[in-house]
Amino acid sequence: MSTPYIPCLDLGSYINGTKEERKKFSDELGRAFNDSGFVTITNHGLSQELIDKLYENIKAAFSLPTETKRKYEKPELAGQRGYTSAGKETAKGAKTPDLKEFWQIGQNVTDGDPVKNEYPDNEVLEELPNFNKVTGDTYKKLEENGTHLLRAIATYLELPIDYFDKHVHNGNSILRGIHYFPIENPETIPDDAVRAGAHEDINLITLLIGASADGLEVLTRSNEWLPIKAHHTDIVVNVGDMLQRLTNNKLKSTTHRVVNPPRELMKTSRFSVPFFLHPRSDMDLTSLPSTIDAEHPKIYSDMTAGEYLDERLREIGLKK
């Protein structure tokens, strides 16, 4: 289900629709991203079987012994591949690390593109033989959906429909499996410790396949926290900082967080699998001239996607 503030859109009406239906989808998506920065998407082509297998494998990965998971933790990769243990990521501006651990899967370049040399290999989780295939299949499907969504955004921004295509082909996108682990003694954690502190995403757009429990909230323009309610099969999509920079704040990178459950439920796990759609590192994020005028002066300095990612990874503590 959606809320009055977070529209629910049918992606199939864009992919397979008439010219009029595609234009309607583009307009509605653009308005939502201009307003709240969030939508939920149905009819996205991810089968229930794949979603179930994804969460089954993500839960199994985090159920492995700590010493096994630590085999796949490579600090030199700044959390961009494999396992990252608890206490490593802190929301920008926060003092206490998030109450989570995560596993990241990156781009697998198969067409000879030299950009492959920029990306580390994905860690192969030997203990779970289906893990890499299931997460890889999910990655490609969400990347495909993200490309369609960016084409709709390009139309809304009155850009060529394929404006983003060359930037996201073999882009530096990340599929992140997150485990918000149980807290056996909630009274022992710092008062400001939360599952995910208030933050904005770094990338162009984020696609999130449901979650195993409630907890995601977005900050509205009226400065109120709004819980996001979506069916487990829906995809929640939000704008990231890179798209906000590119559009000079025309499209909003909305602040969001994952709040702790009631104290009696702190001993339970929450699992989440967002897909952070990143462009190639050489994409120029200089604000589009069409988004700058006397009423909307240019806000951001010029930089590439790679430069911005490096800056943000340092701010959240993953890169030293």
Which domains, ranges and CATH numbers included, belong to the chain? 8-315 (2.60.120.330)
The radius of gyration computed from the CA coordinates of the chain, to the nearest angstrom, equals: 19
pLDDT recorded at residue 187: 74
pLDDT recorded at residue 196: 81
Q: What is the pLDDT of residues 207-266, one digit of tens each?
A: 998 765 678 888 887 888 888 876 678 899 999 999 999 999 999 898 988 888 877 778
pLDDT recorded at residue 286: 98
* Cβ proximity of 116 and 171 under 8 Å: no
pLDDT recorded at residue 2: 41
What is the arithmetic mean of pLDDT over 190-210?
Answer: 86
Is the pLDDT higher at 109 or at 217? 109
Whether residue 46 has pLDDT greater than 50: yes
Whether residue 149 has pLDDT greater than 80: yes
The whole-angstrom separation of Cα 104 and Cα 171 is 15
pLDDT recorded at residue 198: 84
pTM over 0.85: yes
What is the arithmetic mean of pLDDT over 140-167?
Answer: 97
pLDDT recorded at residue 5: 60
Distances (CA, A) of 66 to 69, 113, 302: 5, 36, 42
pLDDT recorded at residue 213: 61
Q: Work out the mean pLDDT of the chain and round it to a whole number.
A: 91
- Residue 183, classed as helix, strand or coil, is coil
Contacts of 209 (CB under 8 A, 6+ apart): 46, 51, 54, 138, 142, 235, 273, 275
Whether residue 20 has pLDDT greater than 90: yes
The whole-angstrom separation of Cα 44 and Cα 11 is 6
Name which of 63, 94, 19 is nearest 269 in CA terms. 63
pLDDT recorded at residue 3: 45
